[in-house]
Chain A
Amino acid sequence: MERVVITGMGVVAPNGTGIPAFTEAVKQGISGIRFDPQLEALDFSCRIAGTPEVTEALKLQYFDPLELKGFNSGAVLYGVMAGMEAWQDARLPGGKEAQQPDWDSGVIFGTGSSGVDKMREAIHRVDELQVRRLGSTVVAQTMASGISAWLGGKLALGNQVTTNSSACTTGAESLLMAYDRIRAGKARRILAGSTTDGGPYVWGGFDAMKVCTFKNNDRPAAGSRPMSATASGFVPGAGAGALVVESLESALERNATIYAEIAGGHVNSGGQRNEGSMTAPNSEAVQRCIREAVREAGIHPDEIDAINGHLTATSKDATEVVNWSLALNRSGTKFPYVNALKCLVGHCLSASGSIELVAAVLQLQQGFLFPNINSEDLHPEIAAIVPREKIPQQLVYKDLQVIAKASFGFGDVNACVILKKYKP
């Protein structure tokens, strides 16, 4: 079967918009978590969040003024920016000059919801008996497949154009769907990614479930604390990540820059049985997902140099580390290095997998472990399995050959991707 590689990336993250700014922020351990006055005004328990900074000038690089008329969809905004950046980064054609669809290129771009703020506007108008004044902009900004439709049109993509949705595994899943489709020979290039709206109407439900931290409102940058003994819930975030997934053959033909190879991966569910539920993972399924990903990648578990975990900063972090340890049969000094990007960007929900995959690919390509900020008081159950030096608090340059990235989501769904450095 076809070997599959990654040849382009784009990102809109709370701590950096665009790959150069994001790379710098990740390496330097710069947090994108800020105090959010709107959350305070609306009486949220958690009043800190990770919202990407996007200037009007930057929007105009990706959208024309007509598209921005009545525009109010974070998911489409972030997704289009990240997706277009990735496509341009891969030096692929497309855009206004493309006269015909590219039948070999598609997009699988996931989201949990789209244009919730736009939908709120529409709901108010409808209730005020003003349905006719909605204009033409509501559907394209609020349909779940809006993001793939916008990208498909901007890039003239003629292969599959679709949106997947599986809570916080969405981004890892879209990458693996792209990988499968290319391996099956049905496409040569897929723009894979995921995005999410942010803001109170998306985060409110999580705040009400008390899964977000309410203990760190006075110290935003220290608020997202994966693997910490004082982890008290996740910090909500927003943004998008995008990766160009391409057959090795196509990448070589184009003489493209190859960032990494997708060695394999697996997607499964715990069926919400045993300790699995709508909101909690079935550990047996998590371990199975990791093992199957390793098996499909054709590597030995000991070859994994680093884990880029899901690690949200809830009480489940220790369970995740135990699951990695059991699935890979590694612990103590044999345990791989661990990175948790959520310490810097919070939990970007359906976008988290893609943003974290972008970070993982950068780690592999440039050979580094980024600072796990806010993990100074390591959770004792984690410390019992992983030595402190395997969870670096400072930037460490290190040659990495294989990184395992996992994402887990509501609905008891799991995804694990094995990335490796490309070797001809």
Chain B
Amino acid sequence: MDKTALMATIKEVVAPYTKNPEALATLNEDTDFLRDLKINSANLVDVVLDVEEKFNIVIDNESMEKMINVRAAMEVVENKLAAP
């Protein structure tokens, strides 16, 4: 999956949780889930579960902790998809 498609899918996943539509519209690799998108911190686990479902992967606790912005989320997904 190329980066543009990956980012678009992540954008789709976070959309229902974001409280800041402007930041969502300009979402990029540096977009932070809490600071920029104003996602409620309790909802971060829901974002991860939705990402798992979307890509049919399982994200371990350590990876989950890293997923605080778009770049980290993309890296985690890429790594899981690349894993044998």
Chain A stretch 60-116: residues in CB contact (< 8 A) with chain B: 65-66, 69-70
Contact in complex: A66, B16 (CB < 8 Å): yes
- B36-55, CB under 8 A of A: which get 1 and which 0? 00000011011001000000
Give the residues in chain A near B42, CB-CB below 8 Å.
136
Q: Which residue of the partner chain A has the closest CB to B58?
A: A132
The answer on a CB contact under 8 Å between B49 and A66 is: no
Question: Is B16 touching A136 in the complex (CB atoms < 8 A)?
Answer: no
User: CB-CB contacts of A127-151 with B at 8 A, as 1s and 0s?
Assistant: 0000001011100000000000000
Please measure, in the bound complex, the distance between the C-alpha atom of A135 and the C-alpha atom of B46, giving whole angstroms: 5
Chain B residues touching A, range: under 10
> A129 → chain B, closest Cβ, in Å?
13
Q: Which residues of A contact B43 (CB under 8 A)?
A: 66, 136
Contacts of B16 in A (CB 8 A): 65-66, 69
State the Cβ distance, B73 to closest chain A Cβ, in Å. Answer: 17
| Smallest beta-carbon distance B36→chain A, Å | 17
Q: Are A66 and B17 within 8 A (Cβ)?
A: yes
Contacts of B17 in A (CB 8 A): 66
A135 contact set on B, CB distance < 8 A? 45-46, 49
Docked complex Cα distance between A135 and B16 (Å): 15
Most B CB atoms within 10 A — which of A66, A70, A137? Answer: A66
Complex Cα spacing A311 to B6, Å: 62
Q: With A and B bound together, what is the CA distance between A44 and B45 in angstroms?
A: 38
Encode B11-46 as 1/0 by CB contact (under 8 A) with A. 000001100000000000000000000000011011
A273-314 contacts to B (CB < 8 Å): none
- Distance between B66 CB and nearest chain A CB, rounded to angstroms: 16
Name the residue on B nearest A65 (C-beta). Answer: B16
Measured CA separation A349–B49 after assembly (Å): 36
Name the B residues within 8 Å of A137 (CB-CB): 46
A136 smallest CB distance to B (angstroms): 4
Q: Report B-chain residues with C-beta under 8 Å of the C-beta of A65.
A: 16
Q: Provide the residues of chain A in CB contact with B49, threshold 8 Å.
A: 133, 135
Q: Which residues of the other chain, A, contact B46 by a CB distance below 8 angstroms?
A: 69-70, 135-137
Q: Return A281 CB to nearest CB of chain B, in Å.
A: 43
Q: How far is it, in angstroms, between the C-alpha of A137 and the C-alpha of B17 when the chains are bound? A: 13
Of chain B, the residue at the smallest CB distance from A69 is B16
Return the chain B residue nearest A70 by Cβ. B46
How far, in whole Å, are A133 and B49 apart by their CA atoms in the complex?
7
In the complex, residue of chain A having the shortest beta-carbon distance to the beta carbon of B42: A136
Q: Which residue of A lies closest to B41 (CB)?
A: A136
- B61 nearest CB neighbor, chain A only: A132
Q: Give A311 Cβ to nearest chain B Cβ, in Å.
A: 43
Task: Give the distance to chain A from B24, nearest Cβ to Cβ, in Å.
Answer: 13
**C-alpha spacing A234/B58, complex, angstroms:** 49
Chain B, Cβ-Cβ closest to A64:
B16
Chain A positions 26-82 with a Cβ under 8 Å from a chain B Cβ:
65-66, 69-70
B44 to chain A, nearest CB (A): 8
Within the complex, what minimum Cβ distance (angstroms) separates B33 from chain A?
14
**3 nearest A-B residue pairs (beta carbon):** A136-B42, A135-B46, A136-B45
> What residues of chain A have their CB less than 8 Å away from a CB belonging to chain B?
65-66, 69-70, 133, 135-137
Known interface pairs A69-B46, A133-B49, A136-B45; 13 further A-B residue pairs with C-beta atoms within 8 A, sorted by A's residue number: A65-B16, A66-B16, A66-B17, A66-B43, A69-B16, A70-B46, A135-B45, A135-B46, A135-B49, A136-B42, A136-B43, A136-B46, A137-B46
15 cross-chain CB contacts under 8 A: A65-B16, A66-B16, A66-B17, A66-B43, A69-B16, A69-B46, A70-B46, A133-B49, A135-B46, A135-B49, A136-B42, A136-B43, A136-B45, A136-B46, A137-B46
